[in-house]
Amino acid sequence: MNLYEIIKNNKHTLGKHEKAFSPLWKKISNFGYYANNNSNYLKLEKFATPETIDFLFMCIDEYNQTKRVWSEHHDSRVLDIVWHVLAFSDEMRINNYFESIVDENIQNINIFLQNFHDIGQKYKSKYFLYEKIQKYYDEKVIPHMASTKLCENLNLQTPEYYYFSFIVSTDGEWIYTNYDTDEERKNRYCLNVSVYGKNPRIYNESYSISFYNKAKKHEDKVDISFRDGQDIDKNCFIYGGKNCVSIPNLLDLSSFISELESNYKIKLNFEKIAYISTVKGVKRKTISDWVKRRFVFV
């Protein structure tokens, strides 16, 4: 049973307080609602009443009894909403509960650290979580991230948090439209690379790579994606993998490109980069020059 179902099945126990809980339940039931933006989370404070805190903590306790292992699906959206409401409480039991999750994620595998890194920044009383996670990131994760080493190899100066992405395709285009013929969709292959820096994601990921076309016929469709992290086997998805490729290395993409072009009998267009995006503070030219060199460092 997931957290959504646990809350649904138990909200009647709120008794006379169920009516006050109803607006929060509507947000939880809205699968397009997320708590992790600045406008949404502030609106949750009015729900942080003693009765709601007790109820949500009871539901969390029941959820924890399901004994999910790290590889299993978690009700992450509802968890994040509940955590954002609980974070308005200064109760020691809440702080201890949050810290236990952070400690477990640091010791085992990073699934929820990003959530609590965010909460620690937003809530003054939870800043201790941010400090603990940031110390772990700074000492144990960031120095070893592929994105960190890539920026060192490129002599690329970056802001505290950075992100950049690009797409290289066979024809220099990346947008598929309804006017494309089946042949065009089949023959346009795209390589999409996204790099995240100084803000590790789930499993301490620092980049993702995907290679695909948009062929309509099942037998022609290709969709391969990779993410780095602590468990590379779970971070690889291959559809249409009859021409299998090895797991890419962000620091040696040139070899991966040669393998793709050979296996799929294509030629990617590095003269006309189909798409490139960088945040402020990251030199776009440095990235584009590296891409045009087919990922060779100088």
Nearest-angstrom CA–CA distance, 61 and 64: 5
Query: Does residue 110 contact residue 202 with C-beta atoms inside 8 Å?
Result: yes
For residue 68, the model assigns a pLDDT of 60
Alpha-carbon dihedral sign for residues 240, 241, 247, 249: negative
Angle, in degrees to the nearest 10, between helices 92-107 and 127-136: 10
Triad 223, 188, 238: Cα angle to 5°: 10
Give residue limits of the domains in the chain.
Answer: 3-141, 145-292
Which tokens hold the place of 87?
């974070």
For residue 241, the model assigns a pLDDT of 53
Q: Which residues pair with 224 in a beta bridge?
A: 211, 238
- Cα distances from 258 to residues 43, 263, 290, in angstroms, run 51, 9, 16
Q: Give Dmax (Cα) for the chain.
A: 69
Query: Does residue 194 contact residue 211 with C-beta atoms inside 8 Å?
Result: no
Query: Does residue 187 contact residue 170 with C-beta atoms inside 8 Å?
Result: yes
Q: Which residues pair with 223 in a beta bridge?
A: 212, 239
Nearest-angstrom CA–CA distance, 77 and 82: 9
For residue 70, the model assigns a pLDDT of 45
Nearest-angstrom CA–CA distance, 164 and 287: 9
For residue 65, the model assigns a pLDDT of 86
- Cα distances from 60 to residues 10, 53, 81, 231, 258, in angstroms, run 11, 10, 12, 27, 49
Which tokens hold the place of 84?
């954002």
For residue 231, the model assigns a pLDDT of 46
Average confidence (pLDDT) per 10 residues, the chain, 298 residues? 93 97 97 87 95 97 75 78 96 96 90 92 94 94 92 93 95 92 93 89 86 88 80 50 76 94 95 96 96 97
For residue 235, the model assigns a pLDDT of 47
For residue 220, the model assigns a pLDDT of 85
Q: Which residues of 156-180 are buried (b: 16+ CB within 10 A; e: fewer)?
A: bebeeebbbbbbbbbebbbeeeeeb
Helix H, strand E, coil C: the string for the chain is CCHHHHHHHHHHHHHHHHHHHHHHHHHHHCCCCCCCCHHHHHCCHHHCCHHHHHHHHHHHHHHHCCCCCCCCCCCHHHHHHHHHHHCCCCCHHHHHHHHHHHHHHHHCCCCCHHHHHHHHHHCHHHHHHHHHHHHHHHHHHHHHCHHHHHHHHCCCCCCCCEEEEEEEECCCCCCCCCCCCHHHHHHCCEEEEEEEECCCCHHHCCEEEEEECCCCCHHHCCEEEEECCCCHHHHEEEECCCCCCCCCCHHHHHHHHHHHHHHHCCCCCCCCCCEEEECCCCCHHHHHHHHHCCCCCC
